[in-house]
Structure 1
Amino acid sequence: MAVAVTLVAIGSAAFAVAFRASLSFIYRMLGGHDVLDAFMRLPPYMRVLVPAVGGLLAGIVSRVATKGGVGDVMEAVVLGKTQLSLGRTAWKALGSWVAIASGGSVGREGPLIQFGGALGSMVARFTSLSNRSTRAIIAAGTAAGFTAAYNTPLAAVLFVLEIVTGVVVLEALLPVMVATAIATALTRYFVGGGPIYGARAFTIASSPELLAHALLGVVAAFVGQGFMRLLSAGERLFARGYLQQPFRAALGGALVGLLAIKLPQVTGNGYEPLNELLDGRYSLGLVAVLLVAKAFATTASVSSGSPGGVFTPSLFLGGAVGLLFGHAVNAVGHVPGSPGSFALVGMAAAVAATTHAPMMAAVFVFEISADYAIVLPLVLATAIATMISRRLRPDSLYTAELRHKGVGWKITYEGRRFGE
């Protein structure tokens, strides 16, 4: 078991490092140091052509793999029935890589998480582990993939507990923690340590400011729900049968490219513009436009069939909402506090609204901000956002994926319930 955990952690970290390095190489070939910089250097027609061709290629590659995502990992860990194929997952990861490299508005966390889970499944088969141990190893690989993507070991553990397993299972928790530690250490050695969005200062100046963060949780809940419903509407629209794959993904890429003619910030997963937003380098008008444009760009990419995640795009949407909200309360209510601080809390609240994992979202932003003072508003805002989001729609992004497959999922005091 210990050997299997170590192999999965090392493999997941190595895959994540290679994934990142290869994307950076492509962007340097295009003359930039990241996707945003590369696209800003392209002429307008290339901003449309590159994502369209990338979407076409991603659609071709992803047809080799079965449709699925984190829901498959959840089903494999909890039910122990789904077989995760490393080969099909690798093809899907290649499709994600092509989509991301060409400017598709998708996150890289999806392929890294799924690869970690599939690698765990393969290692468990080769080492002849029992079904219970196999499920634990898959969970460990999932956490290793998550932390390799974001450099957030505590949030990775909570991702497995709140989203994948749904309950605290000690026999899964221990290998998850070990794999997370190993994968984080390796990733930091090759990529670098420290918060991926840079250290941020945060202070609570008054009680009204804390109340404002609670209200931000309410706003973020509706934004998160709106984003999820937009994704669902996009899937229904692309599924009407007018175009088949890979031409659907090509159309989705072209739509992203059309937006990128004027707004290159919509390309990629949103990491680069989110850093700019947190540093206060965007005007409020641009942030408001990007909030809408990024939601539609991500919908165009994901709903059309380009494989990838929506975790980082959700972070960007939450950060944009939080920044706008912070400026609004400062102007209207004269509430003290940095708009950038509201952006950080908005990031966590939006993720909590879409994943229904408030602790994971709060700890995630705490880890990327490296400031203990942010904990109180984070916990409050994520709890409120999750409560309201669950009232509006019981399923999260991930449980909705399971429900589409006919697997009901509900967490109660008695544990997990299926078929509801």
Structure 2
Amino acid sequence: MTGLLEHMRTHTTPPRFLAALRALVRTNSLWLIALAALTGILAGSVVSIMTSTTLFAHHLLSPATGRLSGLATVEPMRALLVPSLGGLLLGLFSYALVRSKRFRPVDPVEANALHGGRMSLRDSALVACQTILSNGCGASLGLEAGFSQLGAALGSRIGRQLRMHRADVRLLVGCGAAGAIGAAFDAPLAGAFYAFELIIGTYTLTALAPIALASVVALGVVHTTGMVLPPVQVPAPESIPPLAFLPIAGLGIVTALVGVALMKGVTLTERIFTKIPLPVWSKPALGGVLVGLLALVSPSVLSSGHMAMRAGLLSTPPLLLALGLLGLKALASAISIGSGFRGGLFFASLYLGVLTGAVFAGVLSPLMALPVSVCAIVGMCGLAVAVIGGPMTMIFLALETTGSLPLTSAVMVSAILSSLTVRRTFGYSFATWRFHLRGENIRSGVDVGWMRNLTVERMMRTEVPTLPATTNVGEARDAYPGATPRYIVLRDAQRRYVGVIENVSLHSRRYNDTTPVVELVQEGDITLPPCTSLSVALDSFERTTRPALAVVNEDGMVMGLLSERYVLRRYAEELERTRRELAGEKHKG
């Protein structure tokens, strides 16, 4: 894989061909759909290559089969050695990447929200390698993070290579993620809505064709290579009684609370591993030992848990066993992430949801006979919604997995209530929660990066009328006798900022000529650093209720003046531009 990426990087396409292709894409939207199909092919290839590589690595733990979570038992020596040695190798690899100071991977959601879809193909390939190594040695995480990371990065590279518009690059990032998830789960509709809900952040009619085509094409690649699991034949009822929707709604709330507990548990585990007095590169090895010990109790904790999930859907475990497996899998996943393994919780959340549904059915059985298979599917999708934050994604995944409309209706109720409960009690999905811990206020892939690019230094007016702070009102009126300028900045003897006054206040009859102008400065006066973003500036205006604020550097020198009216106008212009992009209206030129 790395050799192919190196070849792509060193053997560039002729500039004339790129220029011609760029012109075609900008003038005819059909070429954008063709690029989406190409992105889907690449994403499907990524899924096939990563899956086959990981299955080959799984033979180290189980020579008989490459599907770890479906094993009945695992050899104690292999269960302890393989995850720990894999963790040690991963720790050294990750430590070397961090020391190189060039490894700054950007998640597809973050890329679309903040960077206009810009992703590093090199960094994403390294993330994919880390994910393969983590999952291959048995860490209790899924491959979907690596799938979507590299698939989206390939879409980003295509868009940036052709110098496409920001909106088109973001769309191709969504195409790569849609293709990866659709191919991984054998569910093209789920893959498409994964891109809409998480990566792009909104559904648009113009994006439907490229996103759907990328997902379908990627699925075709995976089927051609044989890297897709056989379908699951889930026993589904012909209809669900109306009274059954009440406990189904309750299960949706329960899965949301379990999902929140899982996300907080991962954060707590990370803090615990941070405090352990060991070198950072050795902590994945410790995590591998702990996961191996849990695998001795039940091998279902190994890897993503996909085979264990399938087994749970076909034959749901009884109450006590399901409760025990739920605790083991949640602990193994938290340890895997907390110790430094790479991977996602999408696959793991599906298995955890099946177990949650089984526990719920067991508790409910004395009161109401609700089919365990229904609880398993509803729990699977409800918990996945809580973790990844995509209700429509899971509704379509349930439909494509079971083919049952009554069961999909039950999943819809659970998914909606799970999403609402998480939003009300926690406010984040797993991805956005981790962004929050890093200090990023990102809720989805909706493009908010333009607000950070618009700093007050770019928007301020540099020609600012000033007065010495020692001036009195009479002298100020003589200096500025008319109604303009609207705002005047006061400076001290060293020309440092003192305050801002309004001209209308200066000419008010409330003040006589001998009043010092500094008395006209309102309380709560603040300044803005030149690097302040548009969103922070808007918050500052709202908080202080001031019509204008001065832009001051670190030395206290006035650089310019920014008015709330101008900021709001720029904000409205950018919102209109975003609306036009969402409506599919292309830029000129």
Q: When the two structures are superposed, what TM-score results if normalisation uses the length of structure 2?
A: 0.66
Q: Which amino acid aligns with 1:35?
A: R
Determine if the alignment matches structure 1 residue 259 to structure 2 residue 291.
no
Partners of 2:226 and 2:331 in 1: CA distance: 31
2:359 is matched with which residue? 324
- Cα distance 1:354–1:313, how it changes in 2: closer, same or farther (>3 A)? same
The structure richer in helix per residue is 1
CA change 1:353–1:37 in 2 (3 A) is closer
1:369 aligns with 2:425: no
The structural deviation recorded for 1:328 is 2.3
Is the Cα–Cα contact under 8 Å of residues 80 and 135 in structure 1 kept in the other structure?
no
SS in 1 for 2:343: coil
Q: 1:171 to 1:241 in 2, by over 3 A?
A: farther
User: What is the alpha-carbon distance in structure 1 between the residues aligned to residue 105 and residue 120 of structure 2?
Assistant: 11
Aligned pair partner of 1:135 in 170, 181, 189: 170
Q: CA 1:51–1:35 in structure 2 vs 1: closer, same or farther (change >3 Å)? A: farther
Alignment pair present for 1:146 and 2:185: no
Residues 1-400 of structure 1: pairs in structure 2 closer than 5 A: 1-28=32-59, 30-36=62-68, 42-63=74-95, 64=97, 66=103, 72-81=107-116, 83-191=118-226, 196-240=231-275, 242-280=277-315, 282-330=317-365, 332-335=366-369, 337-400=370-433
Q: Which moved more, 1:123-132 or 1:270-279?
A: 123-132
Report the AA paired with residue 333 of structure 1: L
Aligned position for 2:472: none
CA drift of 1:41 comes to 5.7
Are 2:354 and 2:379, in contact at CA under 8 Å, matched by a contact in 1?
A: yes
Task: Give the counterpart letter for 1:165 in structure 2.
Answer: I
Poorly superposed stretches of 4+, deviation over 6 Å: 192-195, 415-420
After alignment, is 199-208 or 189-198 more displaced?
189-198
Are the aligned partners of 1:197 and 1:369 in contact in 2 as well (CA < 8 Å)? yes
Contact preservation (8 Å) 1:39, 1:47: no
Matched length? 415
- Tell me the secondary structure at the aligned position of residue 407 of structure 1: coil
The separation in 2 between residues aligned to 1:68 and 1:329, in whole angstroms, is 45
Aligned residues of 1:31 and 1:41 also touching (Cα < 8 A): no
Give, in whole Å, the separation in 2 of the partners of 1:380 and 1:129: 40
Counterparts of 2:364 and 2:105 in 1: how far apart (Å)?
41
Does the residue aligned with 1:259 lie in a helix, a strand or coil?
helix
Tell me: CA distance 1:129–1:234, structure 2 relative to 1, closer, same or farther (3 Å): same
1:334 deviates by 3.0
Gapped runs of 5+ residues in structure 2? Answer: 1-31, 452-534, 540-589
Give the AA of the match of 2:186. N
Distance (Å, rounded) in 2 between the aligned partners of 1:2 and 1:324:
45
Asked if the contact 1:75/1:81 (under 8 Å) is kept, the reply is no
Most deviating of 282-291 and 337-346? 282-291
Q: How many angstroms apart in 1 are the aligned matches of 2:176 and 2:361?
A: 38
Which secondary structure state, in structure 1, belongs to the residue aligned with residue 275 of structure 2?
coil
In the TM superposition, what is the alpha-carbon distance from 1:182 to its structure 2 partner?
0.9
**CA contact under 8 A between 1:4 and 1:127: conserved in structure 2?**
no
Distance 1:162 1:74, change over 3 A: same
Quote the Cα distance in structure 2 between the aligned partners of 1:325 and 1:37. Answer: 22
Higher relative contact order, structure no. (Cα contacts within 8 Å, ≥ 6 residues apart): 1
TM-score (normalised: structure 1): 0.91
> Take 2:40 and 2:142, find their aligned partners in 1: how far apart are those partners?
21
Which one-letter code corresponds to 2:126 in the other structure?
A: W
Give the gaps of 5 or more residues in structure 1.
none
Contact 1:55 1:99 in 2 (8 A): yes
User: Residues 225 and 35 from structure 1, CA distance in 2 versus in 1: closer, same or farther, beyond 3 angstroms?
Assistant: same
Q: Is the 8 A contact 1:140 1:172 kept in 2?
A: no
SS in 1 for 2:315: coil
1: CA distance, partners of 2:224 / 2:74: 33
How far off its partner does 1:82 sit? 6.1
Aligned-pair RMSD on alpha carbons?
2.6
Distance 2:70 2:199 in 1: 35
1:218-238: CA deviation from partner (whole Å, max 9, x where unpaired): 211111111111011112222
Aligned residue type for 1:5: A
Which shows bigger deviation, 158-167 or 10-19? 158-167
Q: Distance in 1 between matches of 2:71 and 2:241?
A: 42
Identity %: 27
For the Cα contact (< 8 Å) 1:32–1:38, is it kept in 2? no
